[in-house]
A and B are shown apart, each in its own frame.
Chain A
Amino acid sequence: MHDKLALSDDILLQIEKPERYIGHEYNSVVKDPETVGIRFAMCFPDVYEIGMSHLGIQILYHLLNSMPDVWCERVYSPWPDLDRIMRKEQIPLFALESQDPIRDFDFLGITIQYEMCYTNILQILDLARIPLLAAQRGEDCPIVIGGGPCTYNPEPLADFFDIFYIGEGETRYGQLLELYRECKAQGLGRLEFLRRTAREVPGMYVPRFYEAAYGQDGVLQSFGPIEEGIPARVRKELVTDLKDAVYPDKPVVPFIKVTQDRVVLEIQRGCIRGCRFCQAGQLYRPVRERDVETLKQYAVQLLHNTGQEEISLSSLSSSDYSALAELVDFLMETCAGQHTNISLPSLRIDAFYLDVMSKIQDVKKSSLTFAPEAGSQRLRNVINKGLTEEMILNGATLAFQGGWNRVKLYFMLGLPTETPEDIRGIGELANRIAAAFYETVPKENRKNGRVQIVVSTAFFVPKPFTPFQWAAQCVPEEFLHRAYLTRTAISEQLNQKSIKYNWHEADVSVMEGVLARGDRRLGKVIQKVYEKGGIFDAWGEYYDDSRWREALAECGLSADFYTHRERPLDELLPWDFIDCGVTKEFLKREWERAQRAEPSANCKVKCEGCGAAGFGCGICVIPGRKSS
């Protein structure tokens, strides 16, 4: 056993949850460093409990460790209590498995899942003693490579990364690491390795070989490679056939309770729905299903190899998985008598769902979740959310008959074209659901007398590669005004006593909007915020809006430029050089249809010609499907 711990007993005994930093979890991989050529540190830049819940990391950990010459270890953001101690006592950031300093690794991979973790990325680099700016890194520094959804607009982070891997990690790590070995063997330096990566490995964006120029008005004027042979566009990588894709059959089992404390079975990638606000729905096209027989085997193996007491299906919209009923039946059979729970998020609430739920869950304890996202049918058409009031009321009524009495409703405020009418619709819809309860359930059967409806609103953040990438975002005051209108509308309803209302913070939603559609100039802002002490910005208690406002001002930039401005359709966007498969023409068409409140068909009904068919896989190649 390697007893080494990077942190002393004195430190481990005074910090919160020392288990976050000691490794040794079941199924974690320990190799002999003498036998591997490449040391890879895989980082989720947030606290352990969040990072350990992420399936993508488990997939890459499994993939990289299946290569005999590679040892992939994990690293997460030290919580502020340990962060302070590491700075004071000058302890370098270390990987969990070997407890060795990250600085000595060949690669530091960072998954970038949400914008508000950007300052945590700088924390990781800084604690690891890697220069924040890629341009200042020497030959002895790890290659810092980023992946994940935020890399579809990597520009705000361009200064800090050596490479961005655009797309799904399964496809190109083999080739990239082979190139690294080759360059090392030939004694080529860091720069030459990066140059060859940019030239030879598909999906790799090496920001130092590109330059951006801005006009007087601050708008991006030109963007492109500064060297011959560097591609002008970077096309997303994806797994065309998930049937043969690797799956982590022995995921690491944490000691402490983490956010996703269960076995996760990814049933498909992508989504047929095409909701216009949803970035994932565009980025991961086309929809590719996993084979149901393979999934059944995985389910059994995963439960056996982890001992977990719960299994959850993962996808953007599980109801659209073609073999869902077969898979769920299998899971119910397999789990029966095994004290294993089944959890089914992202499912449409209909007769099938309620039937399954009544078999696998204690109805009295569970609540129904609907995400209408907008309060009126008009606005739901704008965002192409194919959920009608009728579907919601039918689902709720069926559920009330089945004994459910708690409903959660999720909405967004500040969607394009939203009017006070649409906002009032939120209160009215909640009221109608409550009324359906009182009509459906006779008085004597009402537990606690009342139905509990919880309405939550998030503020809309336009994201790259969505039809709303050109849309204006509200300023914080406007967001709060709309939350106030929502609250007022709810309080005017007949059943208002059955409805509870929660809304998100407005400031952080705007800053998320700045980073989401930002450009390279924001790198300086992120660095300033970090230098002012900003870390864990995704955590409400650590987010400080004034730091961000000050940093923007110091850099001569404004949040409004990035968020509040409706972008003209011919503007050069910072992420235009990335090809995610979905064409700009399609997004424009969708943006125009949105403004006319016209819905589009989902991929199963009709092909709308988004461009993802160019990958030649998934739902795009299913024979007999109508195309436009």
Chain B
Amino acid sequence: MNKIRIKFQKYGPIRYIGHLDVMRFFQKAIRRAGIDVSYTSGFSPHQIMSFASPLGVGMESRGEYMDIQVNSLPAPREGKSVCDVLVEDLRRVCVEGLEPVSARILPDTAKNAMASVAAASYTVRFREGREPGGFCALPEAGRQDKIRAFTGQERIPFVRETKKGAREIDLRPGIFSLVWKDRAFEMLLDASSAGNRKPGHVAAAFFDFLGEPLGENALWITREDLFARGEDGIMGELISLGEMGSADPETEVLHEP
């Protein structure tokens, strides 16, 4: 039995495939690839598979993760590592836009992807023609000043609409970093199950702070990567979920998360 973490990308028209359907897609792809995946026992067995964090419909990502459990690993071939073989086999039966890029073998003691997630990085661009005129017209230094002023606040209240009604949350503690670079925001936000913050909310709060309206669907959001906390506890350094474990158990020492 091995735990495998597979990193995949989601882009292009595939961004409209919902989270549950992405799961269904990979369940079938794993069967097509002939990966010896483990199933739960009981009357309706299903593949042992978990996803780090659901991605909203319409968003692209360069760093999505799913963990699967396999009964056996594929044989290495052509000088490629076990993980590379597995990714290659799986990629062959996937569609463009929903593609595995790398895999790591996790130590048996590793927490699953979802429990590990502490932060997520995003690039937030504006859709063509929907750039907020005021902010974009500022000189570079002026834009940086505005961002500093925004993040310098002690609290950043934001009213979140949910099915149960509106609720005010504080975005500030969940914004680990917010940078403007190359005509886009780069955000590193809390993505833990308790404190998850959405990039769309942060952008909305920012333009609200500027007093500048943001058009509907003005944002084009790409998730770049997901991170876990390192060894030294809750405030430990962030490591990419894709760097945990080992690419080749034969040659490397497993990196305990």
Contacts and interface: CB of A to CB of B under 8 A. Distances in A.
Interface of A: 1, 3, 5, 9-10, 12-13, 18-19, 22-26, 253, 255-257, 303-309, 339, 362, 365
A18 B16 CA distance: 6
Interface string B52-84: 000001100000000000000000000000000
A32 to B, nearest CB: 15
B30 A1 contact: no
Given A23-B13, A255-B17, A18 B25 contact: no
A307 B16 contact: no
Given A1-B12, A24-B97, 16 more contacts: A1-B97, A9-B217, A10-B217, A13-B217, A18-B16, A22-B13, A22-B14, A23-B13, A24-B14, A24-B95, A255-B17, A257-B24, A304-B34, A307-B29, A309-B31, A365-B43
Contacts of B127: 9
A19 B16 CA distance: 6
A516 to B, nearest CB: 37
A330 to B, nearest CB: 19
A257 B34 CA distance: 22
A22 B29 CA distance: 19
Nearest to A20: B16
Nearest to B22: A255
Nearest to B56: A13
Contacts of B39: 339
20 contacts: A9-B127, A10-B217, A13-B58, A18-B57, A22-B13, A24-B95, A24-B96, A24-B97, A26-B28, A26-B29, A26-B93, A255-B17, A256-B18, A257-B24, A306-B28, A307-B30, A308-B28, A308-B31, A309-B28, A339-B39
B188 to A, nearest CB: 25
Nearest to B31: A307
A307 B32 contact: yes
Contacts of B30: 307
A253 B16 contact: no
Contacts of A339: 39, 45
Interface in B22-49: 24-25, 27-32, 34, 39, 43, 45
B182 interface: no
A362 B12 CA distance: 41
B21 interface: yes
Contacts of B94: 26
Contact of B58 (A9, A23, A309): A9
B252 interface: no
A78 B97 CA distance: 24
Nearest to A13: B58
Contacts of B154: none
A10 B21 CA distance: 21
Contacts of A304: 32, 34
A499 B163 CA distance: 39
Contacts of A9: 58, 127, 217
Nearest to A364: B43
A365 B42 CA distance: 14
A362 B43 contact: yes
B216 interface: yes
B24 to A, nearest CB: 7
Nearest to B39: A339
B115 to A, nearest CB: 26
A1 B94 CA distance: 13
Contacts of B12: 1, 3, 24
B13 A306 contact: no
Contacts, number: 71
Given A1-B97, A339-B39, A362-B43, A24 B24 contact: no
A5 B13 contact: yes
Contact of A3 (B13, B29, B45, B95): B13
A-B interface, 8 closest residue pairs, ranked by CB to CB distance from nearest = A307-B28, A307-B31, A307-B32, A18-B16, A1-B96, A22-B13, A255-B21, A3-B12
B216 A10 contact: yes
A9 to B, nearest CB: 6
Nearest to B29: A307
Contacts of B24: 255, 257
Contacts of A24: 12-14, 95-97
Contacts of B45: 339
A94 to B, nearest CB: 13
A362 B14 CA distance: 36
Contact of B32 (A5, A12, A256, A305): A305
B37 to A, nearest CB: 9
Interface string B129-163: 00000000000000000000000000000000000
Nearest to B43: A362
B93 A307 contact: yes
Contacts of B57: 13, 18
A26 B95 contact: yes
A22 B27 CA distance: 21
A256 B58 contact: no
A256 B14 CA distance: 12
Contacts of B217: 9-10, 13
A304 B31 CA distance: 7
Contacts of A309: 27-28, 31
Given A306-B32, A307-B32, A256 B95 contact: no
A306 B57 CA distance: 24
A12 B43 contact: no
B196 to A, nearest CB: 21
A217 B45 CA distance: 64
A24 B16 CA distance: 11
Contacts of A255: 17, 21, 24-25
Nearest to B32: A307
Nearest to A15: B16
Interface in B200-256: 216-217
A305 B17 CA distance: 21
A304 B92 CA distance: 13
A362 to B, nearest CB: 5
A343 B57 CA distance: 33
A22 B127 CA distance: 20
A9 B32 CA distance: 31
A305 B93 CA distance: 9
A317 to B, nearest CB: 29
Nearest to B18: A19
A305 B29 CA distance: 9
A25 to B, nearest CB: 7
A19 B15 CA distance: 9
Nearest to A30: B96
A303 B34 CA distance: 11
A251 B14 CA distance: 19
Contacts of B32: 26, 304-307
B13, B27, B34, B216, most chain A CB atoms within 10 A: B13
A3, A253, A255, A365, most chain B CB atoms within 10 A: A255
Nearest to A12: B16
A12 to B, nearest CB: 6
Contacts of B34: 304
B4 to A, nearest CB: 18
A5, A25, A339, A365, most chain B CB atoms within 10 A: A339
Contact of A22 (B16, B28, B96): B16
A307 B58 contact: no
A9, A25, A307, A309, most chain B CB atoms within 10 A: A307
A257 B23 CA distance: 12
Contacts of A365: 43
A100 to B, nearest CB: 14
A10, A22, A303, A308, most chain B CB atoms within 10 A: A22
Contacts of A26: 25, 28-29, 32, 93-95
